[in-house]
A and B are shown apart, each in its own frame.
Chain A
Amino acid sequence: MSFSPIILWTDALIYLLVVSVLCFMRYVRQHEHMLTPWKRVGHSTSGMSALTILLFFLIAGLLDSVHFRPALEHKNEENLTVYSVEVLSVLDILVTPLRTQVEKTYSAPLATHLYAKETIQLPDGEQIRAFARLQHGGAHLQNPETEYNGDIAWRSAQGMALGLAIWSVLTAVIILGLARGHPKRIPQRIAAIWRRSTEIPWHAILVTLFILSMLIGWSTMLASHYHVLGTDKVGQDILYQSLKSIRVALVIGTLTTLIMLPFALLLGIAAGYFRGWIDDVIQYLYTTLNSIPSVLLIAAAVLMMQVYIETHPELFETVASRADLRLLFLCIILGITSWTSLCRLLRGEAMKLRELEYIQAAHAFGVSHWRIISRHIMPNVMHLVLIATVMDFSGLVLAEAVLSYVGVGVDPSMISFGTMINSARLEMAREPMVWWALLAAFGFMFTLVLSANLFADAVQHALDPRTRTLARMTLPPRNSVEETAFLPDSPAPASPLPKPPRHP
């Protein structure tokens, strides 16, 4: 075997999450009344565009979660395959050139020379200070001054063409899928998408896909010969770092939320619903926890973890597994410290809900506390939970950055938005400024958080049975009263509102 698969702790949790999401989807598909509100998520234009982008991030994150150790060429004494100590992921393999083409130090996006002057020894022994050529970026150019623009333009055009090809394939797949194998329906579907009259806003999805595939095509064509987003202090490609950071951000955002949610939901609702001494205990608990500076708590916990890791090196085969355990531990600690605000919110909401008459009616039926909580209170606080967790998502990604700065964040060997921002922070003061690392981290994080927000917004909107998500047909302009008086036979336009049923 040329590789040995490795399942890190966070990988396992991610797989578990994916499986449970798939099971939930299966369950929803089998229940018509649960499927209907989820179908309405598909009606939101912004939500579906956001989902398209989120899917891209998710795919990148999932590819980066399949880890293995490649086999080395030499064998050991017992003729067994020796595996590299370096743990790679599928994403690493896909973007191998980005990973391996390392420069000496900073270089600007799409540059051919380093960003700083250095002393170069010419073949004749003379030494000059100049911007050295990059080892990989634009290395194929003989004479960068003259060839550069033409090469960039040519490769961009190729990239665009590649992007267009990717998009065309995706569009064809979607349209074929929509037509469900009936070739006759294809023109009709295309027309419907063009007229924007489809129930799911395919036009918006296709536009988003177009932009995405253009960007991907363009960067693919250029990335093989240039550093599209430049390089950092040690010459690593920024685009590669950004792609690798996606997984860490997703892990911190989702796993922390998963750890936090049970605390917040159970304790918050229990406090608000039962009141009395339960409420007192829970309130004291979160007030106490809240009054300890969370950075201190996290720092203490992470440092303890670090000591444990360092005293037990035999537990970890590779650097990656060590870094991974630290990441998992960080998630747990962040989860334990960050449930208080959502808990307080839910306590207030549960206190409001418990006085409502439908809960009183349930009491009058002798419904058990657990059923009241799960059937009446939980569904009515889910919108708060959804909003709060998505809001927390961005906060957690930023918290990771702050903690990495204090030195208690992710392992230094792990690439994350936090470590990227942290290292870029110092370079902001340089003259000339190194701006690309920060901008790349910012751009990726912003897109991720914004699309998560938009999607959560659409979900929350659709799950509320009181809202309508499809715009109804508008009425033709109303005639004046006089006009209708002369035309007694003209039928009244049908009421666009579904009339409430008439009852005897």
Chain B
Amino acid sequence: MTPLLTIEHLETLLHTGAAPVYAVDGLTLSILPGETFALLGESGSGKSMTALSIMRLLPDAGEIVAGQIRINDIDMLQLPETAMRKIRGKRISMIFQEPMLSLNPVLTIAEQIEEVLKQHFNLSRQATDARILELLEQVGIPDASRRMHEYPFQFSGGMKQRAMIAMALAGEPELLIADEPTTALDVTIQAQVLDLMRKIQQRNHMAILLITHDLGVVAEMAQRVAVMYAGEIVETAPRDAFFDHPAHPYSQQLFASLPGKHKRDQTLTVIQGAVPSLAQQFSGCRFADRCNQAMEICRQTIPQWNAISDGHWVRCHLLQDEVHQPAQSSIAPAPQETAAARPTMEKPPQLLQVTDLQVYFPIRAGLFKRTVGHVKAVDGVSLSIAAGKTLALVGESGCGKTTIGKSILQLIKPTGGSVRFKEQELVGLPRSQLRQLRSRFQIIFQDPYSSLNPRMRIIDILEEGMNALGVESSRRSANDDKPTASRHDEIDVLLQRVGLPAEVKWRFPHEFSGGQRQRIAIARALAVHPELLICDEPTSALDVSVQAQILNVLKSLQKNLGLAFLFITHNIAVVEYLADEVAVMYLGRIVERGRIDEVLSDPKHPYTQALLSSVPQITPHPDRRTVAVTGDLPSPASPPAGCHFHPRCPHAMPVCKQSYPLASSFSTTHTTHCYLYPQESDSNQYEH
């Protein structure tokens, strides 16, 4: 079969700063018609630059300096710009990561699709409308004839991405470049969009170049995989070969750094260091500095392609015949934490007890800003965390997870309910009294880039909490039996604890990578010796290998300092790795909670089941139940009557529409709220 797209020795330069950066450096790949080719890599590896080079849509600073890009034997780099416009959208289309930003907010969906049709086809008015309708129905937009004339703001995130796909399909392209198409979407929506892409591909026999960092998405979608590292491809293989025997040490280490249930009692393998600067000239393997199997030759000679099996190629010295050795065995298993060391039987005292917490945001309208309604962001949530334990709060975006975290800290005043920290009621406490308790509970935020003040040095950032709360050096944790040290020594200890050298305290936050900033944020929270850390998606903005570092830090802190975590996340793999208990949230309420093994291995609530089955899996389970969820998360301003989940639930019954279900218990710890199970009459907290 002749390939649809061939890229040979593509080199793309970015002229930023003093030295040009080789964002893509000698990339060669080919995509067959109708195939899904996944380009996998961490941020900064040059994936998106490759996509933009193919479309010839590089930013002004970018320049293609060498190589060939051919689509059906037309060399696209030789074409004039006018001819390129006939290729873009017609033969190659692209969908972007952020559906909120890639649609023009002042044009209707129909007008935006029409733009593509006008460019490539000569259609009559009626034919255009019919085609737009057909496209929108094809991507599964309900009531398309009405919704095509709506504006992007009237569409939800998933719907916007569907509209983007419809726009990309308008020109009937032979190749669709999908640049992280589902990264900004929730798991259930991601499952819908990936399913849609698969269906469309089969129907239109279209090739897809899927750019992603998510191994799960690759496993579900791709036929062939290429791993990109520092501007070049280091391994290319058919999917099954890649997932069975990843050959390059980088691929192996990526797999090893994924969190998961089977790694619960281990530290995750981390990839040391950072992606090297691409402005330099490499004289050896680009991965040599971070590789755990690096040899002398790796630093001196650039590795060549080695075939392992049919279609499986690797750029690594290890796999040259003479030095070949079974790669899997060489990864040293991470040190085992003895499971016995974790006291699981005795019930430790409750550290945090949240009862019937409500956070309503008023919706105001009119001249005098009368309250016309409430957004019930958190609507009667109860949870408790024991000292030294981790409770994971799982849910999709917009379900109120973050609001719970902030209202426990009293950063948002709760509307009702109670938050008791060690028998001390926090709700309604005056600011001055709350201040005295502030050092006991701290928060780590999601975005490491906005959580550190760019104009303060690290030492000032770390000292802020100490100064504000008057934390004395003498109040050190018990297992730290050094004598009282000065403030500076204490900061050094803090930085060491999160794995940073002490001299970084003189620097400013912009000099650090995302993972390092997140560690500084953790150190800042630790500076006041908290007993409870609320982690608000601390790893969702980070790459897999960096995520592993942060999770390791958190785990070692829990072990050494006995911290309790409220871990807010949407990443099930992280929950499996870290949490002791889990609470699943949907639209402001907890629908199911229990110990981690109870909930994750035997989910009871249909939403939990759907959520778990939507997560893309690396290892295919033959007995995996797929629970399809349709539709989007409803607005919390007007939640559906009865059970909030019933419009999307596959098991919805008439009773579900009438009242919110009561709790059903399966064990002392595992409860859910669903009419599928016998209702308990004693629990009536949701009857408003």
Contact = CB atoms under 8 A, between A and B. Distances in A.
The answer to whether A and B interact is yes
Interface of A: 33, 356-358, 360-368, 371, 375-376, 379-380, 465-466, 471-475, 478-479, 481, 484-485, 488-497, 499-504
A493 B276 CA distance: 13
Given A361-B443, A492-B282, A493-B280, A366 B17 contact: no
A464 B281 CA distance: 30
A472 B18 contact: yes
Given A365-B464, A375-B460, A375-B464, 6 more contacts: A357-B451, A367-B465, A465-B454, A484-B282, A493-B280, A504-B272
A364 B442 contact: yes
B468 A496 contact: no
Contact of B469 (A361, A365, A494, A500): A365
B548 interface: no
B452 to A, nearest CB: 6
Contacts of A380: 453-455
Contact of B447 (A357, A472, A492, A494): A357
A361 B453 CA distance: 10
- Residue among B280, B442, B454 facing the most chain A CB atoms (10 A cut-off): B280
Contacts of A33: 457, 506
B67 interface: no
A465 B508 contact: yes
Nearest to B9: A481
Contacts of B438: 364-366
Given A364-B438, A365-B469, A481 B272 contact: no
Interface in B408-462: 409, 411, 431, 434-435, 438-439, 441-443, 445-447, 450-457, 460-461
Given A380-B455, A479-B281, A500 B512 contact: yes
A410 to B, nearest CB: 39
Interface stretch (B143-151, B199-207, B497-505, B574-582): B497-505
B64 interface: no
A500 B516 CA distance: 10
A496 B279 CA distance: 8
A364 B409 contact: yes
Contact of B464 (A360, A362, A465, A496): A362
B451 A361 contact: yes
Contacts of B453: 358, 375-376, 379-380
B521 to A, nearest CB: 7
Nearest to A502: B273
- Residue among A357, A475, A504 facing the most chain B CB atoms (10 A cut-off): A357
B277 interface: yes
A504 B301 CA distance: 26
A465 B450 contact: no
A484 B302 contact: yes
A381 B17 CA distance: 26
Interface string B512-524: 1100100001001
B18 A481 contact: no
A362 B468 CA distance: 9
B39 interface: no
B511 interface: yes
Given A472-B18, A500-B516, A501-B501, A364 B281 contact: no
B300 interface: yes
A335 to B, nearest CB: 27
A383 to B, nearest CB: 10
Interface in B461-505: 461, 464-465, 468-469, 499-501, 504
B292 to A, nearest CB: 12
Contact of B451 (A358, A499, A504): A358
Given A371-B468, A472-B18, A364 B443 contact: yes
Contact of B17 (A472, A479, A491, A504): A472
A366 B445 contact: no
Nearest to A468: B17
Contacts of A489: 300
Contacts of A503: 272-273, 499-501, 516
A484 B435 CA distance: 62
25 contacts: A357-B446, A357-B450, A358-B452, A361-B524, A365-B465, A366-B431, A367-B464, A367-B465, A375-B453, A379-B456, A380-B454, A466-B454, A466-B510, A472-B19, A473-B18, A475-B281, A484-B302, A488-B283, A488-B300, A496-B19, A496-B279, A500-B513, A501-B501, A501-B504, A503-B499
B499 A366 contact: no
B423 to A, nearest CB: 20
B274 interface: yes
Interface in B251-283: 272-274, 276-277, 279-283
B4 to A, nearest CB: 27
B26 interface: yes
Majority SS at the chain B contact face: loop
Nearest to A382: B455
B272 A502 contact: yes
A485 B302 contact: yes
Contact of A360 (B276, B411, B431): B411
Nearest to B369: A280
Contacts of A365: 438-439, 442, 464-465, 468-469, 528
B406 interface: yes
Contacts of A466: 454, 508, 510
B429 to A, nearest CB: 11
A357 B517 CA distance: 13
Contacts of A481: 26, 302
A475 B468 contact: no
Contacts of B464: 362, 365, 367, 375
A33 B507 CA distance: 9
A360 B279 contact: no
A503 B22 CA distance: 25
Nearest to B302: A485
B19 A361 contact: no
A471 B19 CA distance: 10
A366 B281 CA distance: 49
Contacts of A492: 280-283
Contacts of A475: 19, 279-281
B281 A493 contact: yes
B513 to A, nearest CB: 6
A361 B455 CA distance: 15
Nearest to B452: A358
The 6 nearest A-B residue pairs measured at CB? A366-B435, A357-B451, A366-B438, A365-B465, A357-B445, A465-B508
Nearest to B506: A33
Given A488-B300, A503-B501, A379 B455 contact: yes
A364 B279 CA distance: 41
A485 B277 CA distance: 20
- Residue among A33, A358, A368, A492 facing the most chain B CB atoms (10 A cut-off): A358
Nearest to A355: B450
A121 to B, nearest CB: 74
- Residue among B431, B441, B451 facing the most chain A CB atoms (10 A cut-off): B451
Contacts of B513: 500
A473 B455 CA distance: 26
B668 to A, nearest CB: 33
Given A366-B434, A488-B301, A496 B452 contact: no
A492 B406 CA distance: 50
Contact of B510 (A360, A376, A465): A465
Interface string B283-322: 1000000000000000011100000000000000000000
Contact of B19 (A364, A376, A474, A484): A474
B36 to A, nearest CB: 30
- Residue among B18, B273, B501 facing the most chain A CB atoms (10 A cut-off): B18
A358 to B, nearest CB: 5
B288 to A, nearest CB: 11
Contacts of B441: 364
Contacts of A500: 274, 511-513, 516
Contacts of A371: 468
B253 to A, nearest CB: 15
Contacts of A360: 406, 411, 443, 445
